[in-house]
Structures are given as structure tokens and as C-alpha cells.
Amino acid sequence: MEEEYVIPFHPKSKKYKAFTMLDGLGIDEIVPKCPKDMESNDWIVSNLVYLWIRTLDMRDALKEGCTSSTCKTMMVSGRYRYMWSRSPKEEARDLDAPAYTGKALEWVEANFQDHEIFHDQEKMPYVEEFGEIASLILSTLLTVLGHYWTFHKDSLKRSSLDGEMGSLLRYVRRFSSYWSLGEAGMFDPLPGPY
């Protein structure tokens, strides 16, 4: 029997598709391996968009508890503080967690909408820096998810989202390892187990 794959987004059609579980397939069961009929970078894009959408969902679910007064600094695990900068040339500045996550998720979306990076043309090669950009996007999403996992675990439990978040973090780990994406040590700030 051939494996089935859940493809939430196909860059060739530029249509965002709702993520559905096939035959009870949960995120812990999805294999990061690319389907035979799909180009590997298209598969990476599909997964990055899926993770971005899930991160947006988590932000929306936790927005009442993650405010500028409760999360004055963007942190993960209480030891890792994140500052915002649009580019390496710009000086980084402190932002509260909601402002940081908002800018981070907008930055990810802007990259997805850049047709030079994430094109919708058949057989058109991806830019040479695609792996670096994909790694930055994955690291950025993990930072946002890591903040929620570290500082909003009680809210996740109350909303019955802690299991879903744990599954999502495990998938990010498997996916990043399989495709060698992300920055070295990007999982270090996350308190386990998840």
C-alpha cells in the first residue's frame, strides 16, 4: 500500500488548503519524507506553510494570555531573549512578545509572498539561497512556538492544546533533522519533554 501524504499547500497552485487528517493520520505519524511525485523544495514549502498556519492558530488561541503586560520581553525558557531586527545591518531592539511574534509572522508571510523565492511556475528552479531562507523561516516559527510552549503551558493545557503543541514541536524536530534545516542548536532553548 502506498503512503498517503498530507499536503496543506502546493506552491504550484498558490492555494492554501486546509490541513486535514487522512484516515486518522495525526501529525506525529506524518513522515517528513517527500512524496515521489513532488519536488523536494515544493515539499519543504508545503510543510513550512503548514507550520506557519499552525503557529498563527496557536497565536490566536493564546492571545488573551500573551499580552504586552504579561510578556514584556520575547523570551524562550527564561534564558534566551530575542530581539527584533529587519536585517543584519539594522540594530536589534527589544519588543514585547506579542509585537515580536506579530513581526516574525508577518516576515514569514512576506517571504511566502515573494514570488522570486516562492514561485508558482512549473519546473522553475528555486533561488540558490532557498535552503538558508527555509532554515530562517523554520527557526523563526520555532522561536514563536517555543515562547508559547515555555510561558503559556497552563493556557495550552486549559485550551487542551498542550498535546497538539507537543506534537507540533516533535514534528518540527523530525522535519528539520530530516531536511537539515534550521540553525544549529535551535532546539536548545526549549524545555522538554514535548
The model's pLDDT over 22-68, given as tens digits with 9 standing for 90+, comes to 234 455 556 677 777 778 888 888 889 889 999 999 999 999 999 99
CATH number at residue 72: 1.20.140.30
Q: Looking at the domain assignment, is residue 143 inside a domain? A: yes
- Burial string for 145-178 (b: 16+ CB within 10 Å, else e) reads bbbbbbbbeebbeeeebbebbbbbbebbbebbee
Q: Which one, of 51, 67, 65, lies nearest residue 16 by Cα?
A: 51
pTM to 2 decimals? 0.81
Q: What letter does residue 182 receive in the DSSP assignment?
A: S
Chain-centroid distance of CA 96 in Å reads 20
CA-to-CA distance for 71 and 77, rounded, in angstroms? 13
Nearest-angstrom CA–CA distance, 45 and 65: 30
Q: Which three cell numbers stand for residue 2?
A: 502506498
Determine the length of the chain.
194
Residue 194 in domain: no
- Say what the pLDDT of residue 178 is: 86
CA atoms within 13 A on the CB side of 171: 23
Amino acid identity, residue 186?
M
Q: State residue 63's pLDDT score.
A: 92
Predicted confidence at residue 10, as pLDDT, reads: 39
What is the H or E stretch that residue 168 is in? helix 162-179
Does some domain include residue 175?
yes
pLDDT value at residue 135: 94
CA angle 4, 7, 10 (to 5 degrees): 135
Q: Which residues of the chain have pLDDT under 50?
A: 1-25
pLDDT value, residue 28 = 57
Which residue range is the domain that position 170 belongs to? 9-179
Domain assignment present for residue 39? The answer is: yes
Question: Cα–Cα distance between 181 and 176 in angstroms, integer?
Answer: 5
Our count of domains for the chain comes to: 1
Is 190 domain-assigned? no
Q: Is 86 a member of any domain? A: yes
Check residue 25 and give its pLDDT. Answer: 45
- Between CA 121 and CA 116 the distance in angstroms is 10
Q: What is the pLDDT of residue 29?
A: 58
Task: Count Cα atoms within 13 angstroms, Cβ side, for 126.
Answer: 18
